[in-house]
């Protein structure tokens, strides 16, 4: 049985909802179609925003020969069959969904065909490709980010449902409610409408939706108490050492269900706001996140709660953030000059610190133009003060 989301899948670029930075007159994807060109590409972005649809639409408009495989579902044998086909047809395009889940054997096979030019790859992933995809494959592909679909885009998609369900009759309030709780996931929107239409009839209501979906709309309502406001409140509560507020926003974020953003934000907070005041904490946060990923819902809250309490109660320091910003501002505003000759790769004048007392020898490391620059100022906490004092004393001897 073909699902509503499949029935409404666009066949042409002009029918795709959202992604206005890629689709339209003189935009990237339209120009590829116009020039009848395709390159190795990886589309990345959250689930339900159109990665597969765009890839298939491109193939439809270009008229190129292609095969669609899923790195999780399809076996090594399935990939080998496509590779054999690529030997016969030099213009074959391989679309790989969930490419971040390809195991090493599949990746090695794929890489050899990309390198030889016998096959063009279009990879699709909901993970960060700069972390999740083999660097050798990634370096041969153009990274193209798909943006989150807005509530206005979702409402546009809801109107298209009438092409399939002619008798559907939803109030404007119901449509807006669906758009709010869909969280930028158009596939989720269509699946929800299909379920409700067949369960409650063509005029189902917000109350009907609430009986099978209790996701509160404020999690994704960016015009009011939106999801990104929750992320902001979460970080500021931890930064402000308010453990109760931190747990409150953690609970709301867990209920929202976008764990990738939550995990990234927790790691950012650990390094940005706690940093060297408690240097053993960031690895503990990472360990808690890995445990949460392994445990999964509904009990992933246990290691995350543990980590958030640890973070909120911890001493704080933002010295690493300040130090980096000072260094990058110096780089962008000044002519910093060349690396000193004595610490270049081939220099014979380099003094190896381990050959000297206390593993230290005085020599210049910064370029001449900025040799007196100071970026790091220690925070007023035991660890940073102790390390800085040790370092200062070392240089005085």
Asked if the model's pLDDT at residue 215 lies above 60, the reply is no
Confidence (pLDDT) at 127 = 80
Among 162, 184, 215, where does a domain finish? 215
Residue 9 lies in a domain: no
Average pLDDT estimate for 365-387: 91
Mean per-residue pLDDT over the chain, rounded:
89
- With respect to residue 363, please indicate whether it lies within any of the assigned structural domains: yes
Percentage of the chain surpassing pLDDT 90?
A: 59
What is the pLDDT at residue 346? Answer: 86
Q: Tell me if 272 is assigned to some domain.
A: yes
Angstrom distance (rounded) from CA 397 to CA 388: 15
Instruction: Clarify whether residues 51 and 120 are in a common domain.
Output: yes
User: What is the arithmetic mean of pLDDT over 200-224?
Assistant: 70
Q: Tell me, what CATH number does 371's domain have? A: 1.10.3710.10
User: Do 341 and 375 belong to one domain?
Assistant: yes
Q: Domain limits at 345?
A: 336-396
Question: Is the domain of 141 the same as that of 23?
Answer: yes
Domain edge (last residue) among 269, 298, 313: 313
Q: What is the pLDDT of residues 304-321, one digit of tens each?
A: 999 999 999 999 999 999
pLDDT at 217 exceeding the cut of 90: no
Q: Please report, for the domain that includes residue 49, its CATH number.
A: 3.40.50.300
Mean pLDDT, rounded, for 286-308: 94
Residue 218: the pLDDT is 42
pTM of the model: 0.59
Q: Is the pLDDT of residue 126 over 90?
A: no
Asked if residue 125 and residue 95 are part of one domain, the reply reads yes
pLDDT tens, 236-282?
A: 999 999 999 999 999 988 887 778 889 999 999 999 999 999 999 99
- Asked if residue 56 has pLDDT above 50, the reply is yes
> What is the number of structural domains in the chain?
4
Q: What average pLDDT does the segment 144-170 reach?
A: 92
For residue 238, the domain's CATH number is 1.20.272.10
Any long-range contacts for 72-76 (C-beta under 8 Å, 24+ apart)? 72/98, 72/101, 76/105, 76/106, 76/109
Average pLDDT over residues 372-377: 91
Beta pairing, strands 41-44 & 120-125: parallel
Has residue 222 been placed in a domain?
no
Q: How far apart are CA 15 and CA 212, in angstroms?
A: 30
Domain assignment of residue 46, yes or no: yes
pLDDT, tens digit, 9 for 90 and up, residues 5-41: 899 999 999 999 989 999 988 899 999 999 999 999 9
pLDDT, mean of residues 386-392? 88
Tokens representing residue 239 in the block: 């930064």
Question: Same domain, yes or no, for 141 and 206?
Answer: no
For residue 191, give the CATH number of its domain: 1.10.8
Decide if pLDDT at 219 tops 50.
no
Residue 70 has pLDDT above 50, yes or no: yes
The string of pLDDT tens digits covering residues 128-143 is 787 778 888 888 999 9
Is 34 domain-assigned? Answer: yes
User: In sequence order, what are the residues at sequence separation of 6 or more whose Cβ sits closer than 8 angstroms to the Cβ of residue 96?
Assistant: 69, 70, 71, 102, 110, 121, 122, 123, 124
Q: Are residues 23 and 140 in the same domain?
A: yes
- Beta-bridge mates of residue 68: 95
Query: Do both 131 and 53 map to the same domain?
Result: yes
pLDDT classification of 232: cutoffs 50, 70, 90: confident
Is residue 77 domain-shared with residue 115, that is, in the same domain? yes
The whole-number average pLDDT for the span 329-335 is: 85
- Residue 244 CA to residue 262 CA, distance in Å, equals 17
Is 181 part of a structural domain of the chain? yes
What's residue 220's pLDDT? 42
Contacts of 47 (CB under 8 A, 6+ apart): 126, 185, 187
- Reply yes or no on whether the pLDDT at 221 is more than 80: no
| 299 and 356 assigned to the same domain | no
Count the neighbouring beta carbons within 10 Å of the beta carbon of residue 43: 29
Q: In this predicted model, what pLDDT tens digit does every residue of 160-190 receive, in sequence order? A: 999 999 999 999 999 999 998 887 888 889 9
Q: Residue 128 domain-assigned?
A: yes
């Amino acid at each position: 049985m073909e699902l509503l989301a499949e029935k409404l899948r666009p066949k042409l670029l002009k029918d795709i909802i959202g992604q206005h930075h890629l689709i339209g007159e003189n935009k990237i994807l339209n120009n590829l179609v116009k020039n009848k060109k395709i390159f190795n590409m990886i589309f990345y972005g959250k689930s339900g925003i159109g990665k597969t649809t765009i890839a298939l639409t491109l193939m439809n408009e270009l008229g190129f020969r292609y095969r669609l495989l899923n790195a999780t579902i399809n076996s090594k044998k399935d990939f080998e069959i496509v590779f054999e086909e690529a030997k016969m047809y030099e213009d074959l395009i391989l679309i790989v969904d969930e490419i971040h889940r390809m195991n090493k054997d599949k990746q090695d096979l794929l890489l050899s065909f990309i390198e030889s030019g016998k096959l063009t790859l279009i990879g699709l992933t909901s993970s960060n490709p700069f972390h999740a995809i083999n660097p050798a494959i990634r370096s041969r592909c153009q990274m193209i980010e798909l943006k989150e679909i807005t509530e206005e885009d979702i409402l546009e998609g809801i109107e298209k449902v009438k092409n399939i369900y002619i008798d559907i009759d939803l109030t404007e309030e119901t449509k807006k409610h669906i758009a709010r709780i869909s969280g930028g996931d158009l596939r989720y929107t269509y699946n929800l409408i299909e379920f409700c239409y067949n369960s409650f009839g063509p005029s189902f209501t917000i109350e009907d939706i609430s009986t099978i979906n209790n996701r509160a709309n404020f999690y994704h309502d960016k015009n009011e108490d939106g999801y990104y406001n929750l992320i902001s409140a979460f970080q500021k509560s931890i930064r402000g050492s308010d453990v109760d507020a931190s747990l409150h926003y953690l609970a709301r974020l867990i209920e929202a269900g976008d764990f990738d953003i939550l995990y990234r934000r927790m790691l950012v907070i650990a390094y940005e706001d706690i940093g060297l005041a408690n240097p053993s904490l960031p690895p503990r946060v990472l360990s808690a996140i890995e445990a949460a990923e392994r445990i999964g819902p509904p009990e992933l809250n246990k290691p995350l709660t543990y980590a958030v309490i640890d973070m909120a109660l911890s001493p704080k320091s933002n010295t690493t953030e300040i130090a980096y910003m000072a260094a990058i501002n110096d780089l962008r505003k000044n002519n910093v000059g060349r690396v000193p000759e004595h610490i270049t790769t081939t220099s014979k004048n380099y003094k190896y610190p381990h050959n000297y007392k206390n593993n230290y020898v005085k020599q210049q490391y910064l370029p001449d133009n900025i040799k007196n620059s100071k970026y790091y100022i220690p925070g007023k906490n035991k660890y940073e003060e102790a390390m800085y004092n040790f370092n200062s004393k070392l240089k005085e001897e």
